[in-house]
Structure 1
């Protein structure tokens, strides 16, 4: 049980450290509350859109690269995966 608490404390400390670094890098400590909301909303939207784009397009691009290199290395005429 003590190990679990220690691990949770470590995770909590890391999240707090990451948040403080984010606030320092973006200079959010010096902003008005409404400016923080706008900046955090923009950052969250950008991060969400980036993650979604990576999730949607990277597997397709990797499949195309795999097919290309398979064709170059083995001389396959037809793709194995559709």
Structure 2
């Protein structure tokens, strides 16, 4: 995670002051809603909450809350 704080090339990286840095020159994730939420063709399971915000810009923000088994944290 520390490497993300140093690189502005990582989509969704966090700066030292905690603000998101986005590189819109790179490919954004494609989110589709149909029979569940899919991100770049991968179905996301065990969702607890989904928030979609779409303003007048050509980008939307998506916030997902889901259960996960975090490697290095939950398997100790």
The TM-score normalised by the length of structure 2 is 0.25
Question: Which structure has the bigger radius of gyration?
Answer: 1
With a CA cutoff of 8 Å and minimum separation of 6, indicate the structure with the bigger relative contact order.
2
Structure with the bigger percentage of strand: 2
The TM-score normalised by the length of structure 1 is 0.24
Structure with the bigger percentage of helix: 1
